[in-house]
Structure 1
Amino acid sequence: MKTKQRLSDLVAMSPDQLQDELLKLKKEQFNLRFQRATGQLENTSRVRVVRREIARVRTLQQRKLTEARQV
């Protein structure tokens, strides 16, 4: 259920907001990778969740770009 709610929130965002969200997620992904490398990562499942959220944001960006070109 959380994924659908999160997706609807992302769909409602503007392209600039999606870019900001992508930057935030990339920073979090970097921090998680750093924590994993130093052995400090506690929630290992978060790595997978963040990676999938990045993919969602990029997909939405691509869709919005395609829609803008068609109009």
Structure 2
Amino acid sequence: MAETKIADVRAKTPDELQDMLVGLRKEQFNLRFQRATGQLEATGRIKQVRRDIARVKTIMAERSRAAAKQA
């Protein structure tokens, strides 16, 4: 699975972002578990998932700051 593009993340609604974040965290947990048990083959995927989580959280924070500024 390829890295998530920032334009794709920005196009999502807040609910979709939350769902995406939950899915990425589950994947991160599974990857950590596989690494601990020695079953992980795609070690680079851990880095990709961490960065995708950071992208989603950044967009969510930007939107919350923008909403607070307008209120």
Q: Which residue of 1 is the match for residue 22 of structure 2?
A: 23
Q: Which residue of 2 is the match for residue 64 of structure 1?
A: 63
Deviation for aligned residue 1:6? 1.5
Q: Provide the rounded CA distance (Å) in 2 between the counterparts of 1:16 and 1:59.
A: 15
For 1:28-67, what aligned pairs fall within 5 Å after superposition? 28-67=27-66
**TM-score scaled to structure 2, two decimals?**
0.90
Q: Provide the rounded CA distance (Å) in 1 between the counterparts of 2:44 and 2:38.
A: 15
Which one has the bigger helix percentage?
1
Deviation for aligned residue 1:46? 0.2
Moved over 6 A (4+): none
**TM-score scaled to structure 1, two decimals?**
0.90
Structure 2 gap ranges (5+) = none
Cα shift readout 1:26-54 (whole Å, capped 9, x = no counterpart): 00000000000010000000000000100
Structure 1 gap ranges (5+) = none
Percent identity, aligned pairs only, is: 52
Q: Provide the rounded CA distance (Å) in 2 between the counterparts of 1:14 and 1:68.
A: 14
Q: Provide the rounded CA distance (Å) in 2 between the counterparts of 1:15 and 1:68.
A: 12
Deviation for aligned residue 1:61? 0.4
